[in-house]
Structure 1
Amino acid sequence: MDTSYVHGYAEPEARRLGDQADTLAELLHAGTAYPAGSRVLEVGCGVGAQTGHLLARSPGAHLTAIDVSAESLAQARTRIGESVDWRQADLFDVDETFDHVFVCFVLEHLPEPGKALAHLKTLLRPGGTITVIEGDHGSAFFHPRSASAQAAVDCLIRLQADAGGDALIGRRLYPLLTGAGFDGVRVEPRTVYADASRPDLVTGFTRGTFIAMVEGVEENAVARGLVTQPEWDRGVADLYRTTREYGTFHYAFYKATAHRTPGGAS
């Protein structure tokens, strides 16, 4: 799985991932719970930001969490403890069978997400399920409108594409899962809307998750000539305007579920 994580592995990114997971826990994890005794594979667990929420909702499940980064796994182990089977592994190197697979914010970074999903299908027992959650930066719109703010967001989309990923992948989940051979594919948007009446979302999502994610690519965006420093500064300043008294911010995540039909082809 040849991929480059556009957001990097610095401490601010680990903090952003944790803030995102905690702020959006109910939005993203509602409806996801695994039976006691079931074997669950979390793909691309990173620093364990989502892992804790999986455990809280499925305390009796046996969770195996994989990631390619040893540094991220060390942080995950420190965050969660030893109740999880932590493994440094590429998803294509896994050849065991699981009852359920959980994939969150991973496909967006892969050059061949369909190929990854097809492999994950082979890891599911017949009747097993997969849950996939992804964002779509094209769903971000805000008030006050600003061409400069949109240009900063577009820099993130461009850099992720250049790294082999797709920051607009949320809209592709249905065709990707169907193309990989899964059955019963269902996709639904999980929308975040923040304004001054929802201060927790303004702080935890608009500032702490989305704007922080955009700010994380500043150095690369300017160095690559995608934007000048003054243009970047203006764009980020305008994004922060959306967090003030009369600002608003909207974003949609997409959550897909599917299964491997018993007796179906592998």
Structure 2
Amino acid sequence: MQQDPSEKKYIHGYTATEQERLREQALVIERPIYGYIDFSKVRDLLEIGSGVGAQTEVLLRRFPNLSITGVEYEALQIKKAQENMVALGYGPEKVKFIQQDATKLHLDKTFDAAFICWVLEHIPDPVRVLISMKPFLKPGAMVSVTEVFNSSFYTYPYLPAVMDYWEIYNQYQVTIGGDPQVGAKLGALLDEAGYKDIELRSGGFHLDKRKPEEKKTVFTYWKNLMSSGAPSLIQEGLITEKDFKAMQEAMDSLKEMPESIFNYRFIQATAYA
């Protein structure tokens, strides 16, 4: 019997607050991601794990030539994505969403390119996604994949309330079938799936007192990211409400310290079908 999409555990959850956080996150981290992506010559784009349409929105704004088909597993996310696209004035000729398991795609067309962002970290066997989508890409189609490398997260000064929480957060993601270090494996995964001309780059943030306002913005963004996992971590008995509040207070204190440092690197891959 096929599993109900809503039965899968997802560390961030599907609350309205989380759905809005995803859109805010996309804007905060837009420049480091999209500074190295060029879909200006692409017409039909396949987006895997389109969620609430947070990245879809950025893609359509940056590349108005695109027509996007988003594949998403969770019906609640698709409903929100459709609402977001209507509010932005995008009709079905520009974007449509399909509810499917990305490891077992069955699509009715082929695409000029594919885009995956913050998705493979949540999938137990990510190479299956890369293999599944390959028959639906035209020969030579470009694939852009951006993924987490969570062990690169570093803050100064060291605050146990932050780093202990982060360790628990990442270990929980592993227990529910995810991989918080999947970015480091992108090259090998794409090679295993049969893609060619694979190139990798490291992107992200290293912020100190030279950029105080950007540093504050990113600390706030990261606090919200970490907070999104708290309901699951509390429900599973991995942290207490006190631990959660201590993490938030510690992140707020880091945000206000002139001498604090924020570092995080993600991994971005470009390959061709």
TM-score normalised by length of structure 2: 0.87
Decide whether aligned partners of structure 1 residues 152 and 64 sit closer, same or farther in structure 2, where only a CA change above 3 A counts: same
- Residue 167 of structure 1 is matched in structure 2 by 180
Corresponding residue for residue 84 of structure 1: 95
Residues 220 and 69 (structure 1), Cα distance of their counterparts in 2 relative to 1, 3 Å cut: closer
Aligned residues: 259
Q: Note the alpha carbon deviations across 1:112-145, whole angstroms, 9 max, x for none.
A: 0011111122221111111001112111000111
TM-score, normalisation: structure 1: 0.89
Instruction: After the TM superposition, list the runs of 4 or more consecutive aligned residues in structure 1 that deviate by more than 4 angstroms.
Output: none
**In the alignment, is the contact (CA less than 8 A) between 1:103 and 1:133 conserved in 2?**
yes
Aligned match for 1:118, one of 115, 131, 137: 131
Q: In the alignment, what sits opposite 1:128?
A: 141
Q: Secondary structure at the match of 1:59?
A: coil
The answer on whether the counterparts of 2:187 and 2:269 sit within 8 Å (CA) in structure 1 is yes
1:35-57 CA distance string (max 9 Å, x none): 45621101111111111111122
Which region of structure 1 is more displaced relative to structure 2, 175-184 or 220-229? 220-229
What is the aligned counterpart of 2:269 among 256, 259, 264? Answer: 256
Counterpart residue number, 1:148: 161
**1:93 counterpart (105, 108, 117):** 105
Q: Does 1:218 align with 2:223?
A: no
Give the SS at the match of 2:54. coil
**Hey, what's the Cα distance between the residues in 2 that align with 1:106 and 1:249?**
23
Q: Report if the CA contact (8 A) 1:16-1:212 is conserved.
A: yes
Instruction: Tell me: CA distance 1:46–1:246, structure 2 relative to 1, closer, same or farther (3 Å).
Output: same
Once residues 145 and 66 of structure 1 are traced to their aligned partners in structure 2, the CA distance between those partners, rounded to angstroms, is 40
Residue matched to 1:243: 255
Q: Secondary structure at the match of 2:13?
A: coil
Give per-residue Cα distances to partners, 1:210-247, cap 9 Å, x unaligned. 21121122233234343344444333322322211322
Percent identity for Structure 1 against Structure 2: 27
AA matched with 2:229: V
**Are 1:24 and 2:36 counterparts?**
no
State the alpha-carbon separation in 2 of the partners of residues 231 and 21 from structure 1: 27
Q: Which runs of 5+ in 1 are unaligned?
A: 261-266
- Measure the CA separation in 2 of the matches of 1:98 and 1:198: 40
1:66 counterpart = 2:77: no
1:88 corresponds to which letter in structure 2? Q
Alpha-carbon shift at residue 169 of structure 1 (Å) = 1.2
Is the Cα contact below 8 Å between 1:144 and 1:241 reproduced in 2? no
Aligned residue in 2 for 1:139: 152
Q: Deviations over 1:37-82 (max 9, x none)?
A: 6211011111111111111222112211121222212222222232
> Aligned partners of 1:19, 1:198: CA distance in 2, in Å?
20
Indicate the residue corresponding to 1:263 in structure 2: none
| Distance in 2 between residues matched to 1:73 and 1:207, nearest whole Å | 27
C-alpha change, 1:16 and 1:204, in structure 2 (3 Å) is farther
Q: Say if 2:120 is the partner of 1:107.
A: yes
Which secondary structure state, in structure 2, belongs to the residue aligned with residue 234 of structure 1?
helix
Q: Which runs of 5+ in 2 are unaligned?
A: none
1:42 corresponds to = 47
Cα distance in structure 1, aligned partners of 2:216 and 2:81: 24
